[in-house]
Amino acid sequence: MNTLLNAVKWDEHGLVCAVVQDRHTLRVLMVAWMNAQALHQTVTTGFAHYYSRSRQQQWMKGEQSGHKQKVYELRLDCDGDAVVLLVEQCGGIACHTGHASCFFRLYQNGSWQSVEPVIKAENEIYIRFAQEQTHDD
C-alpha cells in the first residue's frame, strides 16, 4: 500500500480532499476528507471511507445510514492533494439532508436556492445519520 499512500501529498492535518462522483450521472455527490487509513480502507474494502474532522476519526460512509458508496474508480490529481472517486451510491442519497447530492443549492438571481427535492426527510433518517455526521465532513 506504500505505492497508494506515498503518491498523496497529505495536508498539515494528514488529510487529502476527496471528491465523490456518481458513476452513472457523473454528478458530484459530496466532498469529504480522507486520512491514510481511510484511503487504505477504501481501496482494500471497495467502499468509501473518510475521516471526520469533527469527530477526529475514520468512518465508513453509510455505516449507520446504509447509504454506502461502492467505489469503481479512484484518481489522483497532478499535485497529489485531491482524489476523485467514481461510486455507486446505495439508496441514491449521499447527503445527510436527504438530498441525492450535497450540492443542492444553486446560486441564481443573487441568492443560493435549493433546487432539488429531498428524497427522504432528514428526520426520517436522522437517527441513523446522527452517528454519521456527514455534514461535518
Q: Does 15 bind a copy of itself (CB under 8 A)?
A: no
One residue of 14, 57, 92, 112 binding a copy of itself per CB under 8 A: 112
Q: Does 38 bind a copy of itself (CB under 8 A)?
A: no
One residue of 95, 100, 125, 132 binding a copy of itself per CB under 8 A: 95
Q: Does 5 bind a copy of itself (CB under 8 A)?
A: no
Q: Is 11 annotated as a binding residue?
A: no
Q: How far is the CB of 63 from a copy of itself (least distance, A)?
A: 19
Grid cell locating 52: 471526520
Question: Cα separation of 80 and 77, whole Å?
Answer: 5
**CA contacts within 13 A on the Cβ side of 37:** 7
Q: Count Cβ neighbours within 10 Å for each residue of 29-40 and write b for 16 or more, e otherwise.
A: bbebbbbbebbb
Question: Cα separation of 102 and 86, whole Å?
Answer: 16
Q: Does 135 bind a copy of itself (CB under 8 A)?
A: yes
Q: Does 61 bind a copy of itself (CB under 8 A)?
A: no
Q: Is 77 annotated as a binding residue?
A: yes
Residue with cell 443542492: 104
Question: Cα separation of 89 and 116, whole Å?
Answer: 17
Neighbours of 109 (CB within 10 A): 6
* Chain residues that interact with a copy of itself, rule: CB under 8 A: 3-4, 7, 17, 19, 21, 25-28, 30-31, 43, 73-79, 81-82, 84, 95-97, 99, 102-107, 110-112, 135-136
